A and B are shown apart, each in its own frame.
Chain A
């Protein structure tokens, strides 16, 4: 089935440069992506949206348009979050039945899908929590076609004021005792994130050190594009990133979403960094 779909897409691509592609990421969970074919000489960009958002989120959508316009093949999926054909951003208060592992698995599937489309060079580009999810993917033996990582407004899995260790312990205890009652806990930008304990636990484990480590230890070239006016970041996050000497571009005045005039800054920096990746791949 996958092959048939891929074949069909290949047939369509030359004619239509943009298409929604679907694949079943888990049994009963179809997921879709916006696939725009660009220059085959350039790496394909797997663009991952932010936390609980979709590929329609304006920062991501604008970026996808810009990249494709610049000749890049862009595949921007909407992570299913274990919802069949999810098309809407998922509210914080919804019942979250997805884990970071599920997200990474889906990313892996889309990388494979690109690979199946004949793309031999893939650059991962994430926005916000998508950058973290891509880091999580990179931390698990990513496919060799993945040549680079661009993280825009990379955030850590924040949990508010709670003690992450105690919370993780508590959740692990629940998981051990198979207590599946929903848990509501601040996570990332959600003040009340309702989720099953095991699923929540998968996100909580990605604390700042683990994130920084994954960034530092990524098997591919990593670059970050950060805004200096990003109020959603932890107060020491930028400091920590600098501390590990992460290669990043800071856009002055840009907030977390880099909207408004900073959308062009984000695109410009992204293209700039993609160009660098392309050159390296070419060399």
Chain B
């Protein structure tokens, strides 16, 4: 859905003003149209009134002429002239006027005999027809209009009788009226434009009086009231429009000042707030004149203040969180995240100001053992004491980072190798002086310190310092060392360190590359008969064509906490080997797993997938009891689950750990593999051999299936067999061999007879 375009309040105001003006224009136009309509109606009325006025005036003139004619016809002196016309001209030109018979100077009278002949010709200026028209009936008045030299004449003839009974016709009287002159003189016209009066008649044409009204041409006089009305309306509309326009402009200005400007200001403030700009000038809008806006402004300012306060609080909390995020919760020193950030920034900074830099890596000696022995709480307390001692030993501006577990680090700026070693020695001294006994630790606790240094001239190699410090750390941890080693100075065993470095690289590459881990299988024989029941899958890393043995990479796994990743890689490889079908069917496979990884869901999940091979190859899991099983209940649950899918659980290297009996008690173990250090005792004829023998019998009595590891002599084998131990494993009967060789051997000796290595 397309969003609506937003309009500013100013645009809306302008639109309202525009709409208002348009509406006013429409209303004005309508009013003008109505005015014109009224004017047209008035004009029509005027025309009608003019026509009516003319009709009334003309009829009055007709009536006057008729009255005068009748009077004239009845006048004694008229009859006198008809019988004694000697002084007719005097009568016509003077007498009729002075007597009042013809009251108008525009009227003339004439007398005609019975035959309609004029008694005497009239002067040319006042001529009358020499004869009455033929249409004039003898006994009836007759009237007509005629055009005479541009003058409209109205004639009215009357019969004149010599008796009252109107039987004896004497002659005719004729009145001629100058129609227009008489009309204009006698009548007052209010509606007619008298200049427009015209009757278009041809010369000699006559017209009946009644036809005058249809032939007359006239124009209505413009009604002054109408003109005034129109003028007033026009002026009023113009004034109204101007007033509205001015009002709209003023209103817009007021609107702009009272609403638009304050709203804009508020909008700017809100935008500034949104953009996080809370400069001091913001939020200081002056008081507004509109109550609602003022309320909004106050609310906004209050909200802004609250927001600023909240922002400050959040920043404070953020700093707290950030500090906490960079702080190790246990020891209070900086954590690994802080280390990574600070180290990256330090490298950037140091590039601009070259100086001597030392990287110190600390590792607590035998911390795992302490932890397993005294428990986590005390282990944590040991770490806290160590951290406190290290912080005290470092310089004021130096930072101590806990990289993980018991590993700490720091990097020292503006230093020399000697100063770095001096600081390292101070760290060791303070730790040795620390009161570990207060937390119940009676064994001495020490740390190994690996130091790497690069001078101002080799600052480009600063990124290698952690790795070098790690190598130095290995050097420091070598037996006989004073546990402080400076890379390059104290690493006499350069080759070894190089190897160590190569194995580390090989390990990481193997974890990332399937197939690099190669499984070698050592047979486990059943006694008596020495039939191969199982092969123990043993991991090797093939790196650049050479095999790296577990003794080289297992310490790296332990120190890097890579047990899970490594076990997953081993399981995947075993799965691939089992799937390949090159293992003899019916022969089981025993897989070494760290007890730590058994609490990982992904390991368990992969094991459950492996269970699909159990029908052809019984599977057994060997748990190395030397590792620390911290989540023993959870591990026990998973082992129970695995047993339900017919995994067998074996306790590996029994006899070398710290608390094997506890694990036997808490975990669902089916098989106990006695470590070579115990089995080798069986070849001796002493108390130790007796203890081991008794222990083996006791375990067998307890229901555990026993496997004797490290059987290398026939004497030991005989002893093991005599003790009733069910399975035996050792170089005597078979060394670990690659799968390819195993497949060949199995083909050759499918029963799994002992084969030399």
Contact = CB atoms under 8 A, between A and B. Distances in A.
A166 interface: no
A95 B164 contact: no
Given A93-B98, A94-B77, A182 B87 contact: yes
- The interface residues of chain A, by DSSP majority, are classed as loop
A25 to B, nearest CB: 12
B95 A95 contact: yes
A93 B100 CA distance: 12
A87 B76 contact: yes
Given A84-B162, A182-B90, A94 B83 contact: no
Interface string B72-115: 00011101111110110011000100110000000000000000
A164 to B, nearest CB: 25
B585 interface: no
A85 B86 contact: no
Nearest to A90: B76
B86 A83 contact: no
Contacts of A93: 95, 98-99
Interface string B278-322: 000000000000000000000000000000000000000000000
A61 B97 CA distance: 31
A263 B81 CA distance: 36
A29 B79 CA distance: 9
Q: Taking each of B80, B83, B84, B163, which has the highest tally of chain A beta carbons within 10 Å of its own beta carbon?
A: B80
Contact of A30 (B80, B84, B91, B163): B163
Contact of B77 (A22, A30, A95, A196): A95
Contacts of A83: 76-77, 79-80, 83
A95 B80 contact: yes
A180 interface: yes
Nearest to B87: A95
Contacts of B548: none
A22 B162 CA distance: 12
A143 B238 CA distance: 100
A91 interface: yes
Q: Taking each of A28, A83, A93, which has the highest tally of chain B beta carbons within 10 Å of its own beta carbon?
A: A83
Contact of B99 (A30, A82, A86, A91): A91
B537 interface: no
Q: Taking each of B75, B79, B98, B99, which has the highest tally of chain A beta carbons within 10 Å of its own beta carbon?
A: B79
A58 interface: no
Interface in A74-89: 82-88
A180 B86 contact: yes
Given A91-B99, A95-B91, A95-B95, A30 B162 contact: yes
B170 interface: yes
Interface in B426-443: none
B98 A82 contact: no
Contact of A94 (B86, B95, B163, B168): B95
B62 to A, nearest CB: 25
A56 B90 CA distance: 28
A115 interface: no
Nearest to B100: A91
Interface in A21-59: 22, 28-30
B76 A88 contact: yes
A262 interface: no
Nearest to A195: B87
Interface residues of B, number: 21
Nearest to A97: B84
A196 B168 CA distance: 27
Contacts of B99: 91, 93-94
A95 B86 CA distance: 10
Contact of B79 (A84, A182, A196): A84
A85 B79 contact: yes
Contacts of A88: 75-76
Contacts of A82: 80, 83-84
A89 to B, nearest CB: 9
A86 B91 CA distance: 17
Contacts of B84: 82, 97
A95 B162 CA distance: 18
A94 B96 CA distance: 9
B95 A97 contact: no
A155 to B, nearest CB: 23
A85 B90 CA distance: 22
Nearest to B161: A85
Nearest to A87: B76
A41 to B, nearest CB: 33
Nearest to B82: A84
Contacts of A85: 79, 162-164
A32 to B, nearest CB: 8
Interface string B17-39: 00000000000000000000000
Interface string B248-275: 0000000000000000000000000000
Interface in B53-82: 75-77, 79-82
A98 B315 CA distance: 145
A95 B82 CA distance: 13
Nearest to A88: B76
Contacts of B95: 93-95
B86 A97 contact: yes
Contacts of B163: 22, 30, 85
Contacts of A182: 87, 90
Contacts of A95: 77, 80-81, 87, 90-91, 95
Contacts of A30: 162-163, 168
A205 to B, nearest CB: 22
Interface in B564-605: none
Contacts of B81: 95
Contacts of B86: 97, 180, 196
Given A93-B98, A95-B95, A84 B90 contact: no
Contacts of A91: 99
A68 B104 CA distance: 45
A225 B91 CA distance: 38
Nearest to B84: A97
Contacts of B164: 85, 87
Contacts of A180: 86
Interface string B161-174: 01110001010000
Contacts of A84: 79-80, 82-83, 162, 170
Nearest to B75: A88
Contacts of B91: 95
A42 to B, nearest CB: 30
Interface in A84-123: 84-88, 90-91, 93-95, 97
Contacts of B98: 93
A29 B95 CA distance: 21
Contacts of B75: 88
A85 B75 CA distance: 10
Contacts of A90: 76-77
A88 B75 CA distance: 8
B177 to A, nearest CB: 24
Interface string B101-138: 00000000000000000000000000000000000000
Contacts of A94: 76-77, 80, 95, 99
A97 B91 CA distance: 12
Q: Taking each of B76, B81, B168, which has the highest tally of chain A beta carbons within 10 Å of its own beta carbon?
A: B76
A27 to B, nearest CB: 9
Interface of B: 75-77, 79-84, 86-87, 90-91, 95, 98-99, 162-164, 168, 170
Closest 6 CB pairs of A and B: A84-B162, A83-B80, A28-B83, A84-B79, A83-B76, A95-B87
13 contacts: A22-B163, A82-B83, A84-B80, A85-B162, A85-B163, A86-B76, A93-B98, A97-B86, A97-B87, A180-B86, A182-B90, A196-B86, A196-B87
Given A88-B75, A97-B87, 11 more contacts: A82-B80, A82-B83, A83-B80, A84-B83, A85-B163, A87-B76, A93-B95, A94-B77, A94-B95, A95-B81, A95-B95
Interface of A: 22, 28-30, 82-88, 90-91, 93-95, 97, 180, 182, 196
